[in-house]
Structure 1
Amino acid sequence: MASLRDSIFSAPATFRRASDPQRAKWARTALFWLFWLSIATFPLGQAFRETGPILCLTALLPYHYWGYKQSTLRRFPLKWLFMVFYGLICVKTAISLDPRQSFVYVLPNVWKGFALPFIAMECARDARDLRRLVWAFAIVCCYEGLDGVYQHATGYDLINRTAIMAGRLTGSLSTYRVGNYIALTLVPAVGVWWVLRRSFPALAAWKRAAITAALLAPGLYLLVFAQARSGYLGFAAALVVLWVLLFRPRWYWLASPAVLLALVLHFGPHRISVEQAMRDGRIELWDMAWQVIQARPLTGWGMGMFGPAFKALDLHPVVNSTNIQHPHSMYIQFAVDTGFVGLGIALLFLYGMLFWAGRHHLRHLPARTGDANGEMWTLGAFFVAGWVCYLVEALSAHDFLRTWWMAVSMGHLGVMIGATVNALDNAARPAPAPGGLT
């Protein structure tokens, strides 16, 4: 007990004597575990989603101060895309139909969304980091899924006591759009199979499969019974990407997902049928959005201005509420808010990141057995697929600045960037210099 007390009291002096690289190492360790905890506690409530990114920033800033030269951000070649895209958001907030309303709409996402790629990319320095992050997502899938199972059995979720909503599970997020969240979470969690193979090589394949199934089955249950069609599509697209990256199927096998989709649409539940999709309220929103876009096709109306814009044009939704603030498609929203010029910039950012990371993963996967750096490429592929899940969900899910959705997806983006940058560096420098930052 005395030695622990002495260590605590001597910590400030030890910190003052430490070199900048050592301070940076400590800051990055704190950053990683704060980010890990923010993932693991995300569904528990708004307080966790608010404080997690703020605490991460308190570690990121000193890390960049003492160790920017060794940071992932400094070595990331496409950092200029962040400047262009975030600059677009700033301009379209200032030059808006209602700048004050746009500012209120954008501001909470500065630390809860826009900062997360920079946090996450510093938390994916090696395969050990990625294994730990995969475990975080697997844990979340398990307990949030179990919450959904409990809700299905009792009518209320265990964490927030939310009732089943319109026959659909909500989990602890208190909305059936939890299906979109759990889809994003499940994608990296699937990587627990590879983590178990690496951590327990003597474990029989059927035992690894049983453990993986036990961890992921509750999340899959929640995904199915939340009935979020955008989540279904995103998760399916992510699995196809993983299939291509990790197993390289022959070209003619790539037709099988399309055949499977056609069968599901024809024989599956009525909610995911083509007939139901054609009666969806999104059709009315997209038609209204097109009229709004035509009024200002190049410059748009400003961030978050879909509602004020259609009211200014005297458009009146019939199926949807007059208070709706977004057109239920991120891409259409960018066309409304920033015009076709801004949409082009947004697509350059979103898909430029995917093309850059996907190209490198295609080149290095599937990895050879026993290749230490190959493990990093393999686990990084799950976050590439996670980013694809987000981009597909964005076709028909939320608005861009839906805080919880943006937080998870921007975390995936950052980990994807960090895994790619550091895997490339590891390939160029297989033996890290002694005493380097970890």
Structure 2
Amino acid sequence: MSDIRPHTAPSRVTTALRTLRAAPDPQKAEWARTVLFWLFWLSVVTFSLGQAFREVGPILCLIALFAYHYWGYRQSTLRRLPLKWLFVAFYGLICVKTALSLDPRQSLVYVLPNVWKGFALPFVAMECARDMRDMRRLVRAFALAAIFQGLDGIYQHLTGHDLIKGTPIMYGRLTGSMTTYRVGDYMALILVPAFALWTMLPQIRSAWRRAAVVALILAPGIHLWIFAQARSGYLGVAAALFLLWYLFTRPKPAYLLVPTGIGILAALFGPQRITLETAMRDGRLELWDFAWQVIQARPLTGWGMGMFGPAFKALGLQPVINPPSIQHPHSVYIQFLVDTGVVGFVIAMVFLFGMLAWGLRRIHRNIPRSGAPYDMWTMAAFFLAGWLCYLVEALFAHDFLRSWWMAVSMGHLGVMIGAIINADTPPASPVGAPSRETRNIP
């Protein structure tokens, strides 16, 4: 009897691979970009749920980015970016100061995990901001992340423990699922782009009513941001809102003094947590004194990436207020002076504030006047404000390479870049790829 085997249809995976292999490169690029977008979207939404999400999300995004650039670099946002030299200079500085460090091995351990969790994310995010549909979806992602993390914070406020990880309230401050009150800085960063919901409610004509509706929608996230009591997060949001107020209303110069006056009154008469008296007792002052002595020892070249702790120990300094294991001076700008010296500090500031100045100049020149329809420039303004929020938080908070903080801020930078580049020169649909009109047909 002959060996007769039943015919089996090829599996879905095999069929998909054959279809991919047969498709033209522009079509492959379009599929890769779609996968990249949704992976980035999911990473934004799930970011605060745990370390596993923060590890896996960027790696999957990076794989999709390589595929997109392999098949479609010619129509990519990166190809049209005029500021590639800034990335080369800044990332080159990080590489040099890792190799030429007081302890190169420790610096490498410090820097390496952030290659895919931070440094790669601007290139991922800029390819995910191609048109208004992308921007609206991204705004909804940040709003969704703020709402469910905020609800977890409310649950923690009511019960004493957060719902996701069971973390208790820490020193009277909420932590949400991130197990630290520094969640206040995270909430500040994600609330700023989420405020762009304001542009997505055109049926409400009054700007103030729209603002009230957005505040109501984001109330859980705002609650967590407030009761995490992260002062740098307060300052970041205040600076972001000031920038948005300036861009959208173009106030008279005298009106710009109003936020300054409010800030002074808050420092003198506000809640104990944000008063000047509390600031003068802060442990950061001890760290900044140590940092000054460390900088004086190597003013031009610095000590290498992540070398604040080994540097002050090498000088025989012993902290009294702060733990001896502390590895950063609680200010990114002072940290760059310690790690990279004056020369590296200048390069770093050109990158950080050069991106801000480039975005501000382009957006200020092109943002629609009052009453005009909202467009890519409008949406870009909220991510520019998110980047400013990060730069203001960096005055007093965190380590530059604190992975979660760097990841969110670099994502904002990438979305801002993508929105500006694509608002200015939208990519043409390549031959073999569906047109924009075709993609928008349900």
- The whole-number CA distance in structure 1 between the counterparts of 2:75 and 2:370 is 28
Paired residue type of 1:253: Y
SS in structure 2 opposite 1:396? coil
User: Paired residue for 1:236?
Assistant: 238
Say which of 77, 84, 96 aligns to 1:79: 84
Q: What letter corresponds to residue 346 of structure 2 in structure 1? A: G
One-letter identity of the residue aligned with 1:252 = A
Say if 1:336 and 1:59 are closer, same or farther in 2 by CA, change over 3 A: same
Letter in 1 for 2:83: L
Contact 2:80/2:421, CA 8 A, preserved across alignment:
yes
Q: 1:275 aligns with which of 273, 277, 295?
A: 277
C-alpha displacement of 1:215: 2.3
1:162 lines up with 2:167 in the alignment:
yes
Q: 2:19 aligns with which of 8, 11, 14?
A: 14
User: What is the CA–CA distance in structure 1 between the aligned matches of 2:207 and 2:114, rounded to whole Å?
Assistant: 43
Deviations 1:286-323 (A, max 9, x none): 01000000000000000000000000000111111111
CA distance in 2, matches of 1:160, 1:387: 29
Which residue of 27, 30, 40 maps to 1:25? 30
1:366 and 1:330 mapped to 2: Cα distance? 34
- Give, in angstroms, the shift of residue 246 of structure 1: 1.5
Aligned-partner SS, 2:323: coil
Structure 1 letter corresponding to 2:408:
V
Quote the residue 2:338 is aligned against: 336
Partner of 1:95: 100
Aligned to 1:190, the other structure's residue is in SS state helix
Report matched runs for 1:135-284 at 5 Å: 135-197=140-202, 201=203, 211-284=213-286
Verify the 8 A CA contact 2:248 2:370 in the aligned structure 1. Answer: no
Q: Deviations over 1:179-236 (max 9, x none)?
A: 0000001000000121232xxx489979855652332111111111111000000110
Match of 1:148, as an amino acid?
Answer: G
**What CA deviation, in whole Å up to 9, does each residue of 1:268-289 have, x standing for no partner?**
1111001110110001100100
Shift of 1:27: 0.2
Equivalent residues, number? 427
| Cα separation, 1, equivalents of 2:55 and 2:435 | 29
Match of 2:324 among 319, 322, 325: 322
Q: 1:15 to 1:306 in 2, by over 3 A?
A: same
**CA contact 1:138–1:186 (8 Å) conserved in 2:** yes
Alignment partner of 2:220: what SS?
helix
| Equivalent residue, structure 2, for 1:380 | 380
Cα distance, 1:10 vs structure 2: 2.7
User: In structure 2, what residue type is equivalent to 1:247?
Assistant: T
**Structure 1 gap segments, 5+ residues each:** none
Match of 2:116 in 1: 111
Give the AA of the match of 1:195: M
For 1:5 and 1:390, how far apart are their aligned partners in 2? 50
**Residue matched to 1:395:** 395
- Cα separation, 2, equivalents of 1:433 and 1:12: 22
2:368 alignment partner, SS class: coil
Residue 326 of structure 1 aligns with an amino acid whose one-letter code is: H
* Equivalent residue in structure 1 for 2:303, among 301, 304, 307: 301
Query: Percent identity, aligned pairs only?
Result: 67
Regions of 4+ moved over 4 Å: 4-9, 202-211, 367-371, 431-438
Q: Let me know the Cα RMSD of the aligned residues.
A: 2.0
> Given that residues 248 and 366 in structure 1 are in contact (C-alpha distance below 8 angstroms), is that contact kept between their aligned partners in structure 2?
no
**Pick aligned residue for 1:129 from 129, 134, 139:** 134
TM-score if structure 2 supplies the norm length?
Answer: 0.93
TM-score (norm 1): 0.94
Within 2, Cα distance between the matches of 1:8 and 1:311?
A: 57
